Amino acid sequence: MPLSLTTSLTSSLNTLTHKALVIDRSGIILFINDHYNAYLEHWGLSSAIRMKESHYLELFEEWIAIPVQLTALDNAVQHVLHGERLISSSEFIMHIPDQPDRVFILDAFPLFTERSCGIQSLVLSLHDKGPAEPRQHEHVRSCHSLRPRRISGSLVPICASCKSVRGSKEEWITVERFLQLQLSLQFTHDICPDCIRQLYPKYAGVLNQ
């Protein structure tokens, strides 16, 4: 176990109500908390404890229902590892044998410690949102595999003050809602580098490493 994962740190991670695991920069699983392992065992999936010191994608490939999502997951993790994002949050479909598929949110964020020198490890936190509906499979597939289509028309009316967009029915909606309707996009929360520097100056140095 690396020096950054002390006994006190792993004990703290085990007290979290979140289902969490820790990986190093190479993607090797360093630690799995009890909630995460109990969750997998509850659904009859492989024990995460046996996956320790394996690559994290080996754990996820057993139960991510849509294979292309593994690539999307790894890309999201790499963005955080390289300091391009402070946190990455994505939605996936979990396939459980003899059970309805389930939707879960996976958050990836750096594990900062007093001994940290740049980003050396990440926490992957799992949040179960419940059973998946058939339409969600198609929505997730389209978000990961289809190219965005062009928006018809050359001008999009946008408010000069609040940045709301005027839709086809003359209603004013948010930019996010407009893009969801026009491009079938799915949004995930992130923080841009400029906002990280402004809101979280103590972590800004990570972006430059």
Give yes or no for residue 164 having a pLDDT over 80: yes
Residue type, 140: V
- Label residue 194 exposed, middle or buried (CB < 10 Å: 0-12, 13-18, 19+): exposed
CA separation (Å) from 157 to 164, 168, 170, 182? 9, 10, 10, 14
- Chain segment 53-68, per-residue pLDDT in tens: 888 888 888 777 677 7
Q: Please name which of 51, 138, 55, 61 lies closest in space to residue 94, comparing C-alpha atoms.
A: 61
* 147 pLDDT more than 50: no
Judged against a pLDDT cut of 70, whether residue 47 lies above it is answered with no
Distance (Å, rounded) from C-alpha 107 to C-alpha 89?
4
The string of pLDDT tens digits covering residues 87-123 is: 888 888 888 778 888 888 889 988 876 555 667 889 9
Decide which of 61 and 125 is more confident.
125
In this predicted structure, the answer to whether residue 151 has a pLDDT above a threshold of 70 is: no
| 98: number of Cβ within 10 Å | 6
Residue 3: both structure tokens together: 């020096």
- Domain locations along the chain: 7-146
Check: CB of residue 87 under 8 Å from CB of residue 190.
yes
pLDDT at 149 over 50: no
Q: Are strands 165-166 and 172-173 parallel, antiparallel or unpaired?
A: antiparallel
Give CA–CA dist 164/56, Å, rounded: 41
Structure tokens at 73: 């997951």
Domain 7-146 in this protein, CATH class: alpha beta
| Mean pLDDT computed over 129-153 | 57
Whole-angstrom Cα distance, residue 18 to residue 104?
A: 12
Q: What are phi and psi of 202, to 5 degrees?
A: -70, -20
